[in-house]
Amino acid sequence: MQELLFGLIGGTALLMYGVDKMGEGLEKASGDMMRKILSVLTGRVWSAFLVGTFITALVQSSTAITVLTVGFVNAGLMKLPQAVGIIYGANIGTTITAQLMAFSFHFKLTDIALPVIGLGFAISYFGQRKLKYVGSAIMGFGVMFLGLKILNSGIPLMQQSPLLRQFFERYASIPIVGIILGAAATAMVHSSAATVGLVMILGQAGLIDLKSAVCIMLGDNIGTCITAQVASLTGNTSARRTAWAHTLYNIIGVVLAAILLPLFLKSIVVFTDSFNPGGGIAAQIANSHTLFNVLSAVVFLPFTKQYVRFLEVLIRNKEGESEDTPVYLDRLLLDTPSAAIKAVASELARVIDIARRMLQEVMNAFHENDEKLLEKARKDEDTLNTLQRQVTMYIVDLSKHALSDKQSRAVPAMIAGINNAERIGDHALSIVSLAEMKIEGGLVFSREALSDLRKMHDVIETMFNLTMDSLKRTDGSHIREVESLENRLDEMSREVQAGHAKRLEEGRCTLEAGLIFLDVVNYLERIADHVFKACVSGTVMADAIQNGR
């Protein structure tokens, strides 16, 4: 019994470690390409599905791809329909590990586990750069095979254990128990491939039949969703929808498979006999994993639009969500600088929109003598200050990662961008004080003066909109237009001040009202300057994203 216990613990540990090391090595070897493909994906659901399948097959970690997808959706780099397509594909791509395990049983690849580990170590030790990661992945293959070999050697002991046989015969043969068992095991180890490997060993030992194995495999697909759910806890509504898209997709698929279990079992046997005769129960289990995910994708793909609408209805925006928490920034993106910079650009666009709204509230309050709007503006200024600190900390954390020359140059530009947005709030707050003086003093402004302020505000409003659009698109397309408007506002400022001087000479304006008017004009001019500088920062960020080297 002691030998069996130690063999199970050690073999399982090696199997889990091997799967993890293999996936980590493959992910690092192809990480740049993987993240670049995902971050620039703009195609339809079908293309997202194919990309998800390909990338997951390459890195052998549906968890990594799903978590990264949650991060991209959270940062606004990907829409929900695309994310759903990637999830469909990721579930298929990850089944290759199970197929490799079944292949190793059939062709006795477990016997060459030690030479494979040695080869992987040599490549990892002597190789350069990405070759080291390839060596690490090969070592992972070897360790996985070694774990399977140790577990396989314990089959005779498992067969002789009445306790194990009684447990699996009495409990695991019940479909719902098998599903729960698989879900719990995978949730604990965060690897459906590892638990599928254990199920193959149990099947080889004759402790479970195909029905029990398939039920546990179905549970594996539910248990693997836990990591994406955890990753979405601090995300926005879109991130939560993405995580639930993964979870509900697997749950619905499992429910359908459980209802049609006899038919599903027959299809597995027919498929295995047709394409892998003599593969045994290990091949049947691997094929069940693949068939389940392929059939789930086939069922869901035509109804993706309806599925996305269902998710949007089910997972609603949280009421009363605070604006002073970044929406697009996600720490999962820090290892992908271009995606992180894009997230900062999206967040900066949101911060500038809050600053735009604040200025609008202040100017409306100035014209309408509405003190309630001034109170709203003060709250917006507090929000801008809080966001400025949080975005700056995120940028500092990003600067500690490996960046290209252009990405490094984007760091001070990003900090300048968020500082300029915060400075807009400071100047708008100064106008709040001037508006209070106007209201409390009962001061009356001439029609010409109020008209001049409206015209200046209209120009700044256009600058805000162009800057936000430029940041969202990250293409720097509006920089010339914003610069031209900023120059135009400088000219308007001079003209407005000259007009004020004329009104003052003619006695159509009081001295006290005139001083407030000139201060408002000066603050509007400074605000326009900061909007332009934020747009310049966006142009630098766009260059770093599009030409990262």
Tens digits of per-residue pLDDT, 174-210? 889 999 999 998 888 777 878 888 889 888 888 889 9
158 in the same domain as 263:
yes
- Which CATH number belongs to the domain containing residue 383 in this structure? 1.20.58.220
Say what percent of the chain tops pLDDT 70. Answer: 92
361 in the same domain as 299:
no
Q: Which is it for the CA torsion 188, 192, 196, 198, positive or negative?
A: negative
Our count of domains for the chain comes to 2
If residue 291 lies in a helix (H) or strand (E), which one and from where to where?
helix 280-300
pLDDT tops 50 at residue 499: yes
On whether residue 223 sits in a domain, the answer given is yes
233 in the same domain as 344:
no
On whether residue 321 sits in a domain, the answer given is no
CA-to-CA distance for 218 and 251, rounded, in angstroms? 9
pLDDT-derived band at 39, boundaries 50, 70, 90: low
State the chain's mean pLDDT as an integer: 85
CA-to-CA distance for 224 and 434, rounded, in angstroms? 58
Query: What are the angstrom distances between the C-alpha of 169 and each of 165, 176, 406, 541?
Result: 6, 14, 62, 61
pLDDT tops 60 at residue 480: yes
Question: Which structure tokens are listed for 323?
Answer: 């604006």
Query: What are the angstrom distances between the C-alpha of 116 and each of 110, 119, 145, 217, 231?
Result: 10, 5, 9, 28, 34
Of residues 60 and 322, more confidently modeled: 60
Give the per-residue pLDDT at 444: 82
If residue 336 lies in a helix (H) or strand (E), which one and from where to where?
none
Give the per-residue pLDDT at 320: 47
112 in the same domain as 140:
yes
Question: Which structure tokens are listed for 542?
Answer: 């766009």
Domain that holds residue 523: 331-546
pLDDT tops 80 at residue 332: no
Contact 26, 159 (CB under 8 A): no
On whether residue 323 sits in a domain, the answer given is no
Domain boundary among 287, 314, 341: 314
CA-to-CA distance for 327 and 526, rounded, in angstroms? 28
CA-to-CA distance for 439 and 523, rounded, in angstroms? 18
On whether residue 326 sits in a domain, the answer given is no
